[in-house]
Amino acid sequence: MTIGGDVVRREAAEKEAQRWRELEVRNRLISVMGAVAGLTALIAIALGLWANQSSLRANQNAATATYALGQAEIESARAGEQAATAVAAQATAEADRARAEQQAQVALARQLAAQAQQVLDRQPAQLPRAVLLAVESLRRFPESTGSQALAEGLGLLSHELAHVTHDLAVSAAAFSPDGRWVVSGSWDNTARVWEAATGREVARLTHDGYVTAAAFSRDGRWVVSGSADGTARVWEAATGREVARLTHDHWVSAVAFSPDGRWVVSGSGDKTARVWEAATGREVARLTHDARVTAAAFSPDGQWIVSESYDGIAWVWRWRPKDLIELACARLTRNLTRTEWKQYLGEEPYRKTCENLPEGE
């Protein structure tokens, strides 16, 4: 064996040994990496299991909370139902009590009415007792038996508030709108204003013939009276001062104020109903019948008058001149011609009678 061969062999052995060492290191590295991968996998599995467990726990908690909320809602609904049942039961009980009370009051009212009637029939000297029992009956239940007993008792218990006296028969009477005064007309040729509560005479309104009709204005300030002397007269109610005299050709049978108190309508035996300005006595309109007029009145808005007569007709009139003019101009188709104007109106300058219509041809 030579020295060079030994060297070769030694180098070959060292290389082999080096190769095995490297192979061993690589295997160890592979083992370590496998262990790390396994550990990582185990950690991932553990984390997954932990996440699943946390999710399950959260879902369980949510389900528990939902169940608890549902139970709370059920309990709330049950409580509401119980409260509604209690309210309904209370309402029913109250209705039953009210019905029972009403039935008791009805029964008592009928009993009181019967007792009131019994006192009226058997103890007329105890009239106040009967009337009071009838009042108590009606206060409890308005029934015909109580009303009849009270009406009968009041008929026997009648009491005049005041009375007013004329020298002859009284032919007309009316209250002022506020109920404070009364006006009465008489055959003694006077209309008189009285204080309703006491019968004290406030004013005496004198005609030259017997008084047939009398009325207050709506504000109570004025009185109008009609008379057989052929006049209707407007008076100041508080003083008896004559304000205006409205003259017909025959006796006056009816008088009335317009709702605003500005006008008076009077009906007369001269076959007319006439409208007057109350403050001045100026005649505004004349409505003619075929027989004497017996009654006349204004409509509530004052635009119409109704009058009735012995001719068997009651007429409804549109009396205000401006209304009649408006109605005429609405129905006509032309104005007067200039020839007609000159014929009837002379030299007065021509103008249209109805502004809405053409000049006549």
Mean pLDDT by 10 residues, the chain (361 residues): 69 77 72 66 68 70 76 81 83 86 89 90 86 88 84 76 86 95 96 93 97 96 97 97 97 97 97 96 94 96 94 90 86 92 92 90 80
pLDDT at 73: 80
Beta-strand (E) ranges in 85-241? 170-175, 181-186, 190-195, 201-206, 211-216, 222-227, 231-236
Please give the pLDDT value at position 319.
82
Q: What is the CATH number of domain 172-318?
A: 2.130.10.10
Distance in angstroms between the alpha carbons of the first and the last residue of the chain: 171
- pLDDT value for 351: 92
Q: How far is CA 12 from CA 5, 16, 94, 274, 288, in A?
A: 11, 6, 120, 162, 165
- List the chain domain ranges: 94-156, 172-318, 320-361
pLDDT value of residue 10: 78
Is the whole-model pTM more than 0.85?
A: no
pLDDT tens-digit profile of 114-123? 998 998 899 8
Which residues, including other chains, have CB under 8 Å from residue 146's CB and lie 6 or more apart?
Answer: 109, 110, 112, 113, 116, 134, 137, 138
